[in-house]
Amino acid sequence: MASIIPLAFVILLGMLKEGLADVRRWREDRITNSRLYTRLENSQDLSQKKKVRSDELCVGDLLEIQDDETIPADCLLIATQHANYQCFVKTSSLDGEKNLKPKIAIGTI
């Protein structure tokens, strides 16, 4: 009996710690899923734009990403306004590196 009480206390503390971590992740996910992005709508010239929450995005959606905007998921850079087909992406949330990485687009707008 004397060894069960300390063991139960340690298990209870571990459960509380994991529960708090789950609540923290749930709150961060809500913030991430509520970010707004500009989706290009299905039309001939893709001139129609609509603001949608990131949890409404689907595979194959075309997004217009602006400077300093967080990219919501794995994306393929199709076009850029720059003549050298290049943009720079900060990946510090993925790999911890602070420098910008150059990415090359398929074409220009």
Q: pLDDT tens digits, the chain, 109 residues: what are they?
A: 778 999 999 999 999 999 999 999 999 989 988 889 999 887 677 778 889 998 888 888 888 888 888 887 778 888 888 778 888 888 877 787 888 888 888 765 5
- Residue 78 placed within a domain: no
- Residue 77 placed within a domain: no
State pLDDT tens for residues 6-37: 999 999 999 999 999 999 999 998 998 888 99
- Residue 91 placed within a domain: no
The number of beta carbons lying within 10 Å of the beta carbon of residue 16 is 10
Length of the chain: 109
- Residue 41 placed within a domain: no
State pTM to two decimals.
0.67
- Residue 3 placed within a domain: yes
pLDDT, residue 109, reads 58
Range of the domain at 3: 1-33
